[in-house]
Amino acid sequence: MTSPSTARISIIGAGPGGLTCARILQRHGIAVTVYDRDPHRDARNQGGTLDLHADDGQLALREAGLLDEFFALARPEGQEMRELNPAGELLTHHVAAPDELFKPEIDRGQLRTLLLDSLQPGTVRWGHSLHRVSGPADGPRTLHFADGTTVETDLVIGADGASSRVRPILSPAVPQYTGVHFLEAWFDDVETRHAALSELVGQGGAHAADGERALFAQRNSGGHLRVYVIRKRPADWLTAAGLSTEDTAGIRARLLAEFAAWSPRMRQLIADNDGPYVDRPIFALPVPHTWAHHPTATLLGDAAHLMPPLGVGVNLAMLDASDLALALARSATVDEAIRAYENTMLPRATDIAKMLEGRAEDLLSTDVPDFGDDDTRP
């Protein structure tokens, strides 16, 4: 039986979940390597804003020894939430109390940088796109990367999101389309270039819906704003309509027609964006998603329990990461640690997934949905 202190531990994916797991492992003196497909840490935009909850994401950051650093970066004012109607009239308005820190906002990129900078040099191996995992369930496993290189490991942790390349060795499940589609629009320098929208949205989020379509706007740091245009559509509706993500003008004209009954002020949220729209069909894993125990592999976050973006995403991934790292730190063998972790994570994820199953359409409701921490990044 392999001890965690001597095991070759490999995490696939340098997102918040994978990096949190690596950080906590290193705090407990356990060696770990993270592999990520990006060529370097600044290869692409990391997505929008997240809110980290006191009862999961913040607990993980406390175990990582990074809670104070998080609060130094976080935006408590981002907890503001406005509910608007299609005319742009304010229906409800939550403003956080000055000392409210239950779920302050932080940009995904800022959180990732915080976690990356906390790791020992060389922990993350960039430019390693996993192709597949081979080897017997009792190990060792072999990681096969797209460039033809291989790595032998005693434990592979799939923190590689919705399209996980680790998941197939544990489960045949694949994400299914929910029927709900997002288009993401970006706005820059909103205080000066989009002052009316800045005033409309406020410092946090703003939601409006008519039962068939919805808009959700999120303030990011640095004067940025992201808006999600939400409708029920086939996953390939862009192609079927003869459009592509490069055809910004064509998509804009289509959206303006669909939102024709909304006020001109609200339609600015879909038509005045800076740059192209981003295609975001919403997928989820079957419920429940479980697998037979393997002593050399496990999953966390979206790789384990991809759900609709209704307030669980990154927070649950970071809690998974903390639970797994602490189980490895406290167990005599890797096998024992994985059993302990999965005995906690799988029932928790199943309960939450059952609660959210089929509820992606809540995003179109005229009632305020809890968008929580998700910026819909796949």
pLDDT tops 90 at residue 330: yes
Give the global pTM: 0.94
The terminus-to-terminus CA distance of the chain in angstroms comes to 36
Q: Is the pLDDT of residue 375 over 60?
A: no
DSSP-assigned letter for residue 141: E
* Residue 125 to residue 96: CA distance in whole angstroms: 40
Nearest residue to 114 via CA among 307, 318, 306: 318
Could you give the CA distance from residue 175 to residue 300 in angstroms, rounded to a whole number? 15
- pLDDT tens digit string along 53-72? 999 999 999 999 999 999 99
State what percent of residues in the chain have pLDDT above 90: 88
Q: Any idea of the CA torsion for 9, 122, 158, 115, to the nearest 10 degrees?
A: 120
pLDDT at 284 over 50: yes
Query: So what's the pLDDT on residue 360?
Result: 82
- Which band of pLDDT confidence, cut at 50, 70 and 90, is reported for residue 217? very high
Q: 80 is written with which tokens?
A: 């503001």
Dist CA 162 CA 152 (whole Å) = 24
Q: Kindly give, in sequence order, each residue whose CB lies less than 8 Å from that of residue 34, ignoring residues fewer than 6 positions away.
A: 10, 11, 12, 13, 14, 18, 19, 22, 119, 123, 124, 125
pLDDT for 368 equals: 54
- What is the pLDDT at residue 48? 82
Token digits of residue 147: 């460039």
**Domain spanning 9-80+103-174+285-359, CATH class:** alpha beta
Domain with CATH 3.30.9.60 in the chain: 178-283
pLDDT (average), residues 262-268: 97
Amino acid at 175: P
- Rounded Cα–Cα distance for residues 337 and 345 (Å): 12
CATH assignment of 178-283, given 3.30.9.60, 3.40.1190.20, 3.40.50.300, 3.30.1240.10?
3.30.9.60
The pLDDT value given to residue 255:
97
pLDDT > 90? residue 377 = no
Q: Which of 1-15, 46-60, 160-174 has the lowest mean pLDDT?
A: 46-60
In the chain, which residues fall in CATH 3.50.50.60?
9-80+103-174+285-359
Asked whether the predicted pLDDT for residue 306 surpasses 80, the reply is: yes
Q: What is the mean pLDDT of residues 114-135?
A: 98
pLDDT at site 76: 94
161-165, 224-228, 235-239, 356-360: least confident range: 356-360
**What is the average per-residue pLDDT within 179-190?**
95
- pLDDT number for residue 21: 98
pLDDT of residue 361: 86
Query: Could you read off the pLDDT of 221-251 as tens digits, one per residue?
Result: 999 999 999 999 999 999 999 999 999 999 9
Is residue 373 predicted with pLDDT exceeding 90?
A: no
Distances (CA, A) of 356 to 52, 201, 202, 286, 371: 19, 27, 28, 11, 12
Token output for 274: 């800076």
